[in-house]
Structure 1
């Protein structure tokens, strides 16, 4: 492998930054430029807080772990492609920092600890594909931004985050991943109450061909807005359980959720999926509003336009509001309420068929 070199871009080097499609580095914060054949991980390891690692077009066969706060890892577009290493043993021997990320089957990992969250990392403008687990995986972060990332054909999640706050996921494409295109959770491997995300935003992403477009699991204080969700087995899942604090206080607004009719088989945790638009289960105080939801059709117990699904652990969905949505062509119905709780409200929705009748 060629030795990675680093270039400092000050104001006098603005022409170089412009030619690469990037702004010049600010005083005191170098930009480390990585070319095809060089190691992204080595540039990340050499960077200090506030630095930028700029990756030029090419195929990079490695996993990358970011633990430096304030770091920006940015490509110059979809032509920057990160794939699994052709020689995994050589890749892991080359840099121990990426071992856990690579061994876990992930592409890019942003990793903090419960006591020291990694803050203000940005990932932007690149493609991550072909990893056995996640294209992007983040844990114990605060203020992570993921924008313009394309996560395609990864084994589990396209872009995933747990145990984190104040994230922004904007303008990404997650396509043909094994589970959720975007997966956000309190914690993946433990039972505990919902995490207050501090206003995490999932906005203007394109999510298609996944098992589920967006999964929000055991979280509070989060917004899912203006996303285009199509061709998945299910569009949007908001999931809670019996732990406290309860999951909820989520806003799902102005999304386009259309033809999520791919068929996915039953798993140990979930019934077969097909034709689910937006599903709520075990949540409270969530607002579903001003969404366009049409032509989601299937014969799964979770099929329908907007579905309040009875929790697998018996936790009622309560005090949720479904209002001002535009629904059509969903089957078995545009609105489906399987809950026994009577504190959920359906108001001013444009729809034709509901179960039970009278919700439109």
Structure 2
């Protein structure tokens, strides 16, 4: 076939596609750049759904509120968001969101979200509402440091993705999410936060049954120097895998209560949980925390498999390698599977099964000591 014939066929194909109504490829997402001295929040407000905002290397002193689908990305540790010298007023919603909020009977979503974010004194807030979640937000390759509350906080989101973020020295949680589904938290570093490095919950405002996260993922994160490395509280259906947790007061906490549905139906696998021997004083909810590997309290149908849990040593009621602990509100651990873990040199025991729960199985673990005896 000659070049002229090939070109003719290509032209015919284009004409036929147009005649059949074949859509052209979608336009690429618009890109916006923020430089030191610019406002990240201004770029977020001006962005259209789906835009990519690139934050250039530098230090930015502000809080950022996101209420629409977009990507916010930086240059790793060279792009840092820190608290403003003077607390900012609540961020103004964009015109489209403001018009929606003003419509008769419509929720004032952006105003409520902005107020909550400002009051929380958080680095980056991703805020939806019960009526309308915020979907497909991506936070990439930047640092949030030194906020009074949280580095990153999300409410009412779906498919939030936080990857390669450094969240450090924040007054509550490093990276936290509530009332949300299908979140992915991967390749992050959360260190020296006052509470959990990564925190996934049904809600922090009230009691209630566990939220089905529809497959949330906490994977390949490095969690050091926090009170607890990873806390999953009153949630179901997620995976915590391939993380490094060391130097915290505690490694992984799975927390449930008497609500329905119960917390659990999750997998904790392939994590390295070593020497989490920092001491944290207890509070009204928990005793002192030190030397904690993995704790399940009020959990059901959770699989703990193939983890390396070594050298977690303490004298707290929660200390040890893998502990099924009696819930403070009376909920029992039921039908959990603890298998094929390497659990060594933890004190007071490598494995412990407390409380009155039923159906819990300890199988194939390599360990030295257990309470009661005979599980190693």
Tell me the residue number matched to 2:41: 41
* Structure number, greater radius of gyration: 2
- Confirm whether residue 333 of structure 1 aligns to residue 333 of structure 2: no
Q: Secondary structure at the match of 1:302?
A: coil
Q: Is the 8 A contact 1:104 1:133 kept in 2?
A: yes
Which runs of 5 or more structure 2 residues have no equivalent in the other structure?
Answer: 1-25, 94-109
Structure-2-length-normalised TM-score? 0.87
Distance of 2:179 and 2:156 partners within structure 1: 5
List runs of 5+ in structure 1 lacking aligned partners. Answer: 1-25
Pick from 260, 263, 277: which aligns with 1:247? 263
For 1:157, what is the secondary structure of its paired residue? coil
- What TM-score do you get using the length of structure 1 for normalisation? 0.90
| 1:1-360 to 2 correspondences below 5 Å | 27-69=27-69, 71-88=70-87, 91-92=88-89, 95=92, 98-360=114-376
For 1:212 and 1:160, locate their aligned partners in 2 and report how far apart those are by CA, in whole Å. 13
Alignment length (residue pairs): 332
Secondary structure of the structure 1 residue equivalent to 2:151: strand
The CA distance in 2 between the partners of 1:272 and 1:328, in whole Å, is: 22
Match of 1:6 in 2: none
* Secondary structure in 2 matching 1:155: coil
Distance of 1:170 and 1:60 partners within structure 2: 24
The answer (yes or no) to whether the contact 1:41–1:95 under 8 Å persists in 2 is no
SS of 1:102 mapped into structure 2: helix
Q: What's the CA shift string for 1:290-327, capped at 9, x where partnerless? A: 00000000000000000000010111100000000001
Asked whether the equivalents of residues 90 and 117 of structure 2 are also in contact (C-alpha less than 8 Å), the reply is no
Instruction: Work out the CA distance in 2 between the residues paired with 1:100 and 1:191.
Output: 20
Per-residue CA distance 1:79-134 (angstroms, 9 max, x = gap): 1100110122xx32775775531321111000001111100000010000111110
Distance 1:236 1:224 in 2: 9
Runs of 4+ in structure 1 off by over 6 angstroms are none
